[in-house]
Structure 1
Amino acid sequence: MYLPEMDADFNISSFLHFENAEGYDLTGLVPDTYRQRLFRIGDPAPIIFWVDHAPYIVEGDAEKAKLEEMFGVRARTHPVLKDLGGMLHDARTGVFKRQQEEWLARELEVAYGDVFLEPPSRTKYWIHRYRVALENARKLTQPPHPIDVRLRRASTEWLEKFATKAELTMISALLGEASQGVYSVRQIAEIMFAYLSNKLAAARPIEINKIAADKTIRSLFPHGMYGFYIQNGWPHAPFLYGKASFVELMKERLVQGRESGTWESALQLAKLLFGDKDVPPEVEDVALMFMRPILADYKRLLDEVEHMYTYKGEPISSEGILERSSEILDCFDRIQDLGRVIVGADRDKAAMMDGRYQVSESQIKWHRQYLES
């Protein structure tokens, strides 16, 4: 014999094999209209009950009013009918579903007590356990669900204590994806913004490169963190964070680039701060201040090679060409970096738009080939 098992909406969720190991008295008496009826998983469950020793069935999708239709005023006074009416009402209004969800949330809370019931720790193991709890919750439930509140509470406590000291990978793992139901896209963006704002001032070039290359961060801030700030102001986060001046950070990175001889780190920071948008005028002024002497050297070197080492397009001397070709390519690359810092449309490309600032790939083609030969 198989008996239907109901879900919280009183639909059939499975069929259980019943062997009557306890020896209950059984009867095959059912209403005539339900003899030989076929039921499938997902159908409203047949709910059998007895009134005055006679069997009746209502289906799981019935409303409380169905009993009044069948029994009139007795539906309000007969103990069996009153209980059944209350159950149908609770099924229709979601009471049973909410109870089941809360029970499941409590089971998960106990199963992952180190995440939900104990203080969090700034360890990769704790993040791993949180992720396991989240992934198992999503296998068993879909948001919104009471377990989401518990997950958000645990992760928020972790962020309050450890966010400003944590690695980017830990923050990313904790926040997860909006589809997982703990944080919305907006909340993820605000928390990540706060974390990065706090981190950028002291970040080393290698860290800047890693952050700028992160596809999730780029998708959260397509127009850059500066654009996000201009549009939204300083966002709320569950932890205190440093509110960096993005314009000043960018100008400082440009100065550091002049001292080190490369603006690669400045370019990566520009990708993060300004996305696909041009830099603000005060940043452009600094970048152009450094670019102008390089442009002058670049054009002077091109002229020198043109007039000193060729005649009517033919080489007349190779002395010094190696050194000058190397200098020309170095100037070209530094102009490229500064140009891509300034212009949002060029930033994610391998090269600045050809001809911008009167600098073209054709001008250095021969020198590149010469050095590679």
Structure 2
Amino acid sequence: MKRIESGVVYGYIKLTKTASGIGVPIVTHPDYNSLFVPESDTSLRVIQFIDLVDPDEYNIESLPVSMKPIQLRIGDPCPIPVWINNAFQVISGDLAPRNLQFLWPADAHDSPVFRDLTKLLSEAESGALEERSRNWQADELKRLFWGLFETPPSSSPYWISRFRTAVRHSRQVAAPPHPIDLSLNKTANEWLRRFAVKVSFDRLQSFIAAIDDDILNKEETKDVFFGYFINGLSSRLAPTIIDVTKDYDTFLDLFPRGLYGRYLSRGFPRTPFRYRSIKDLPAFVTQAVVQADEKQKLRFARALSFVAFGGERAPEPVARTARLLMHRHAQEFFQYQEEIRKFHAREKSRYDYNLVLRQALYHYDSMRDLDGIEHPESRLSIANIDFGGISAEYISDIRRLAASDAEPPPPLDSVFSHKRTSKR
């Protein structure tokens, strides 16, 4: 396909053999033997030149010799060949409709061609032609993606993929604001109403990625995720918390101060779907920490603190509870540490030895989790570290012994290489 940006109007295709009609201009270019047809937009300005295929199939007439050559470029008003009662004129696409009356005598003004031409120029000038074209495009898009717009949405990956394709295709043919946006917005809001708090975090992310800022802007997107997460917390849905821990960075990009920080700045936002809220998030987390400690699930409470507070230190009610529990676990840990030190002098079974090791590790891990509940710098780390006067090397030794099947327990002098560190 040849690409040209300018040419000369050579003639026109006469579409009818009647005394009145509207034709199609034909353009030539000095570098090509081909003939071209200018394509115009809804304001009747040239947007490109298209190759005329099989020109011999058309009735092409040359412009009158008396008419000056018409130079035409992309962006120019498109020339419109018109004949009324065999009186020929080439009018410009930007001609004011009221000026048509001066080009033909009064008896031509009742001609259907004259009326159609007046309407065409008027609608191009007023934007009505643009609006009609956009509505046609919207109808065509809805026909092409009928299953998305005329039937209830689905949470399946296939449906989300189809919706993503519909959004992308819509943007390729029509920039917003556009009538198709009404259908896209309605469908997106209906999907969120039905599924936002029911699907996994990954599935919700997939749907949000399928839409664009003209359907949901950045703040509205954050509101959707806020509703999703706060509903998961209030409903005590463990998968909601677990999903977040798979992608810390994405969550922090959305909520650097956690859900509580978002709540302090915006309150409980309105969303297309209903969600359960938590009126006092610090009190909720405090209660969850106590319950998690009783059920030996502090790792979950640590993840909960991340969702609630992000990269910020936990509020004092939460921090105070974490410190009190940490003090108890520290006492328990040092008691089991003393048992380990004395173990080499006792007649104990391997099971008892392993039990002591595991209990020491449980209380150490509990202290780490509680520290992470309070402090953001510890919230995301699970590696062994020098902590509370306990060296990381010492904990690594205990983990190695607990996983070992050696019998009997080796003397501690041969397996422990730890040194006490200064207390945090």
User: TM-score per shorter chain, which class?
Assistant: 0.7 to 0.9
Task: Sort the Cα spacing of 1:366 and 1:125 in 2 relative to 1 into closer, same or farther, 3 A.
Answer: closer
Report the 3-state secondary structure (helix = DSSP H, G, I; strand = E; otherwise coil) of the residue aligned with 2:61. coil
Contact conserved, 1:326 with 1:371, CA < 8 A, in 2?
A: yes
Distance 2:122 2:390 in 1: 77
Flag the 1:220–1:2 CA change in 2: closer, same or farther, 3 A: same
Within-5 A mapping of 1:1-373:
1-9=35-43, 10-19=45-54, 23-24=58-59, 26-29=61-64, 31-34=67-70, 37=71, 39=73, 42-44=74-76, 46-49=78-81, 56=90, 58=92, 64=96, 74=102, 91=124, 94-120=127-153, 126-176=159-209, 179=212, 181-214=214-247, 216-245=250-279, 246-302=281-337, 326-351=358-383, 357-361=388-392, 364=395, 366-367=397-398
Unpaired runs of 5+ in structure 1? 310-315
**Structure whose CA Rg is larger:** 2
Query: Which one has the bigger helix percentage?
Result: 1
CA distance in 1, matches of 2:251, 2:105: 63
Distance change in 2, residues 1:129/1:38 (3 Å): closer
TM-score norm. by structure 2 comes to: 0.68
* Matched positions, count: 355
Change (3 A) 1:225 1:89: farther
What is the letter of the counterpart of residue 115 of structure 1? L
| Alpha carbons of structure 1 residues 338 and 91: separation in structure 2 relative to 1, 3 Å | farther
Give the C-alpha shift of residue 293 in structure 1: 1.1
Unpaired segments of 5 or more residues in structure 2? 1-34, 405-424
Deviation at 1:152, TM superposition (A): 0.8
Please say if residues 3 and 18 of structure 1, whose CA atoms lie closer than 8 Å, have aligned partners that are also in contact. no
Q: What amino acid does structure 2 have at the position aligned with 1:330?
A: Y
Which residue identity lines up with residue 278 of structure 2 in the other structure?
Answer: A
Relative distance call for 1:216 and 1:177 in structure 2 (3 A) is farther
Query: Is residue 50–residue 56 contact of structure 1 (8 Å, CA) maintained in 2?
Result: yes
Which amino acid is the alignment partner of residue 224 of structure 2? I
Per-residue deviation, residues 36-59 of structure 1 (Å, max 9, x unmatched): x574xx54354244699565564x
Contact kept? 1:115, 1:130, Cα under 8 Å: yes
- Hey, what's the Cα distance between the residues in 2 that align with 1:365 and 1:253? 29
**Superposed CA RMSD:** 4.0
1:313 match: none
Residues 64 and 86 in structure 1, CA contact (< 8 A), matched pair in contact too: no
TM-score (norm 1): 0.76
Q: Secondary structure at the match of 2:38?
A: strand
